[in-house]
Amino acid sequence: MTRLSVNINKIALLRNARGSDIPNLLQFARDCERFGAQGITIHPRPDERHITRPDVYELKKSVTTEFNIEGYPTPDFMEMVLQVRPEQCTLVPDAPSQLTSDHGWNTLEHQSFLREIISELHTKKIRVSLFIDPTNKLIEAAAKAGADRIEFYTGPYAHNFIKDKNAAVKDFTTSAEFCNQIGIGINAGHDLNLDNLKFFKQQVPGLLEVSIGHALVRDCLYYGLENTIQLYLRQLE
């Protein structure tokens, strides 16, 4: 079964809007785990518009499943991750001011940079995943840089799913088969939801983990947290 990691950035964003501790981020993470989520994902950004630096350290104490920290590897980010030592660190090529992730790494162009960063994370036994587009030469370069996994950027799949779901998933299926051949693990995330998740899971062999935040939090407004977690887990069976 593919593991579900819940991205809780949007809960932190909602909390920050009122300058209080409502909703409580730690409680939300604990409840996600209690209702069946197998991981918690956060993406702290330099402006702390949602996840703050203190949140990262507090969540490390609280999370009992897999803790996944996403981000661009600035010196500050790396210092924090090496101190916290999450089970997984997902590296993204985002600019500091970027609203959300919208493309993967050019692992050919940034090969030496990524190799150095990944090696440093491995000294603390942190699994490393690289956010990436479904292109075999980029995946091969990710493996050469030392990445344990790649995380498919699934925005294009979600965007084209309604038009032609088979065409939308084709590149991901092909690249997943290549990942399985060369022995690199497969994660996925971005705009996956209750409509498109099951088909993606069925068409992507070896999918280990999905990270879902925005859509899952939206669904909580209608179905409640416990029901929503269960609905997503069913898509991954």
Mean pLDDT of 189-195: 97
Catalytic residue among 43, 50, 66, 209: 43
- How much is the pLDDT for 146? 98
For the structural domain made of 69-235, what CATH number should be given? 3.20.20.70
Summarised one tens digit per residue, pLDDT across range 143-172 is 999 999 999 999 999 999 999 999 999 999
Q: DSSP assignment, residue 18?
A: T
> Could you give the CA distance from residue 186 to residue 207 in angstroms, rounded to a whole number?
5
Which residues does 181 contact at the CB level (< 8 Å), separation at least 6?
none
Catalytic residue among 33, 50, 66, 70: 70
The rounded mean pLDDT for the chain is 96
Q: State the angle between helix axes of 136-144 and 111-122 in degrees (0 to 180), rounded to the nearest 10.
A: 50
- In this prediction, residue 83 has a pLDDT band, given cuts at 50, 70 and 90, of very high
H or E stretch covering 151: strand 149-153
C-alpha 69: how far from chain center: 8
Q: Does the annotation count 190 as an active-site position?
A: yes
- Domain ranges in the chain are 69-235
Summarised one tens digit per residue, pLDDT across range 85-118 is 999 999 999 766 655 666 789 999 999 999 999 9
Torsion, Cα of 19, 20, 25, 28 (10° steps): -130
Mapped onto helix, strand or coil, the DSSP state of residue 200 is helix
- How much is the pLDDT for 104? 87
- How much is the pLDDT for 97? 61
Catalytic residue among 33, 50, 151, 190: 190
- In this prediction, residue 28 has a pLDDT band, given cuts at 50, 70 and 90, of very high
Task: Please give the single-letter amino acid code of residue 179.
Answer: C
Q: Does residue 63 register a pLDDT over 80?
A: yes
- How much is the pLDDT for 100? 61
Tokens of 194: 């209750």
Q: Does the annotation count 33 as an active-site position?
A: no
- How much is the pLDDT for 98? 56
pTM of the complete model: 0.95
